[in-house]
Structure 1
Amino acid sequence: MKRLLLLSGPIAAGKSTVATALVEHHQFERIRSGDYLREISRTKGLGSSRADLQSLGDSLDAATNYRWIIDDVAAKTIETRPEQDSWLFDSVRKNQQVIPIHICHPVRAASLC
């Protein structure tokens, strides 16, 4: 059974620390949107600062109704490793980004809030 864990939180909240532990101790594979955003930014001649990439992500959210995160990043990454069962997506910044992920990968959700 495939598992897709979404890790979200503000800058410096410890997401990378948790992600590293999950990768090292529980065989999760990471899915990241940063490389995708940097490539789009480079081809369009845009800046590559964190603020520039967040702005680009915001514009992609608006243009795709938040689907780019699953269609262009997560699904394509998962397709490259069909043998991998546990995936960690540590690039989710907005609640609206969860909806297309949940539609494509229906799971039981638990809130820790």
Structure 2
Amino acid sequence: MKSYFRIDEVTYSHLLGRLNDLHVTDKRGTLPDFTFFHKDEWLADTAVIEELARHKGEWQVNLVFAHTTNPMRFIRRQITSYSCPRKASLFASLMRRLAAKDQRGTQAISINDIFVAQN
């Protein structure tokens, strides 16, 4: 027989106290916080990476736009979802190629760029 999960009263009251304090730590963003989205000139220098993720029985197609000189600056957007993984993979590669069209050539980032950006 499975034993039930138990927590002592001191730990439980401490947990509830911390949960009640969450409303103090969360705060709304201000307008300067959203300049990241409004001033989107940096998107011209991004590499596009496709991502497939299984979510609720479907395969989500996401595109990640990462800045080439600072890969820690990125935006991830959900494009669509498919029930067939092959169809999702095909659509993801097509969307990546379409989004990565650039007259200067395809932009790319490497794992070394991430470590340089963090230091």
Pairwise TM-score range, normalised by the shorter structure: under 0.3
Q: TM-score, normalised by structure 1?
A: 0.26
The higher radius of gyration belongs to 2
Q: TM-score, normalised by structure 2?
A: 0.25
| Higher-helix-fraction structure | 1
